[in-house]
Structure 1
């Protein structure tokens, strides 16, 4: 990494020397940030994580089986002949070798995880590279770096961060593929004509509208809960009153019946 950092510094210094009369235009992108905000990547990443979890479960099962084989051999060793012990040990060694090969097949440097990870990232990288090239050409950037690469970039001001612009370019390309009507095409053209600052202002306005909507919905929900609470209290009071009346009526009937029974007994 130090060698790469040194070469980068030399390269940029030579650039400054060659273009001494022209200020250099440098920007950077945050690849991790971009990947986190591309829905297609997140969906595919979730699917890959599920495969990884399944592979890990299979590996753990193989390890448990081998551990059980070892434990069984130790418990039965005194009862086995040397030939049987050797045969069991060879079987355990074979199963360990198979488990190691399977783990390498899934998680080794050339394993399924690395292959599928590269396959997952490559389409997004291609979109990022195309967007970066477009931005570099339209805005005359001399250098655009990946913040997360081993470039020795220890600090960079936010105003040089082009990640959101790259995301805008990727999203626009995705939106173009989804256009079905002329109205959608016109709306996309208006959206593409907006600057990043205008997009931020529009997003802030939309967020403010959404916040007010959420506040209204919360207020309506609170009023509904209060009304439900009042209704429940009234219903409870009505049920209690009804039960009391029924109880009093039953007690009166029981009292009359008891008096009649007593009178009949005396007669």
Structure 2
């Protein structure tokens, strides 16, 4: 596998080298972090987001502290409570704790508010940078522009150096060659190798059409699944609201009973 990848990379490098032999390659780079640090709009929006994050953290900590306080209070009163009351209190604590964890996930999870707003914050600046880079690259005849602070690195490349189709074609043919088992397969493979890029493109387009229809079917299935999940979530929410209402009613009745007992005690005394 490593040899195959090396061979493919070598082909890509040779293709670029061939083009480079005809024209000297001109490179440029940017420092995205430096750019963001010097865009006032980004800095102000970033400060606003940091303030919201601090508010979210404070709210998350307050919710979890409430849970811990409820657990401590239950432990202190456990010996004085009936089994039914203990179970009710434990159910209430579990419910509130689950809500607190959901809040943390919604705010700071991989798809939470923080990540979403962080991306929204950077995206307008990135769009401006990419537009500016493209204009500068064309004006200065740059072939490649890199971002020295990014994992991906390259953010602009002249299309003449794109050897993706050549690499893809080589991968497919190399894989096919390794799977050949008889003369008929070898003959068919040789015919495929003699096909032109245009012929390959026509076949690829047909295959892509088949794949597109397959994707549409999968999207339809996924949509139905989302609808079922949405219905399930709605039922779960209804159950939780009903349960919370029952717990609140039980707590009200318990308080009423305790007050009645206190009044009787005061009357006797």
Q: CA deviation at 1:9?
A: 8.6
Q: Which residue number in structure 1 is paired with residue 145 of structure 2?
A: 144
Instruction: Give the distance between the partners of 1:118 and 1:62, measured in 2 at CA.
Output: 27
Q: So what's the TM-score if we normalise by structure 1? A: 0.52
Q: Aligned pair 1:65/2:66, yes or no?
A: yes
1:50-61 → structure 2 map (5 Å cutoff) = 50-61=51-62
On the 8 A contact 1:27/1:143 being kept in 2, the answer is yes
On the 8 A contact 1:8/1:151 being kept in 2, the answer is no
Higher relative contact order (CA 8 A, sep 6+): 1
Q: Which residue number in structure 1 is paired with residue 48 of structure 2?
A: 47
Number of residue pairs aligned between Structure 1 and Structure 2: 149
Instruction: Give the distance between the partners of 1:53 and 1:131, measured in 2 at CA.
Output: 34
Q: Aligned pair 1:78/2:66, yes or no?
A: no
Q: Structure 1 35/97 Cα, relative in aligned 2: closer, same or farther at 3 Å?
A: same
SS at match of 1:19: helix
Q: Which residue number in structure 1 is paired with residue 128 of structure 2?
A: 127
CA offsets per residue over residues 142-178 of structure 1, 9 Å max, x none? 111122222479xxxxxxxxxxxxxxxxxxxxxxxxx
Q: CA deviation at 1:59?
A: 0.3
Aligned Cα RMSD in Å?
A: 2.4
| Structure (1 or 2) with the larger CA radius of gyration | 1
Extract unaligned runs of 5+ from structure 2: 1-5, 155-269
Give structure 1 regions of 4+ aligned residues with deviation exceeding 4 angstroms.
6-13
Q: So what's the TM-score if we normalise by structure 2? A: 0.51
SS at match of 1:145: strand
Q: Structure 1 136/152 Cα, relative in aligned 2: closer, same or farther at 3 Å?
A: closer
Q: Structure 1 104/12 Cα, relative in aligned 2: closer, same or farther at 3 Å?
A: farther
Q: Structure 1 152/31 Cα, relative in aligned 2: closer, same or farther at 3 Å?
A: closer
Q: CA deviation at 1:8?
A: 8.4
Instruction: Give the distance between the partners of 1:117 and 1:37, measured in 2 at CA.
Output: 17
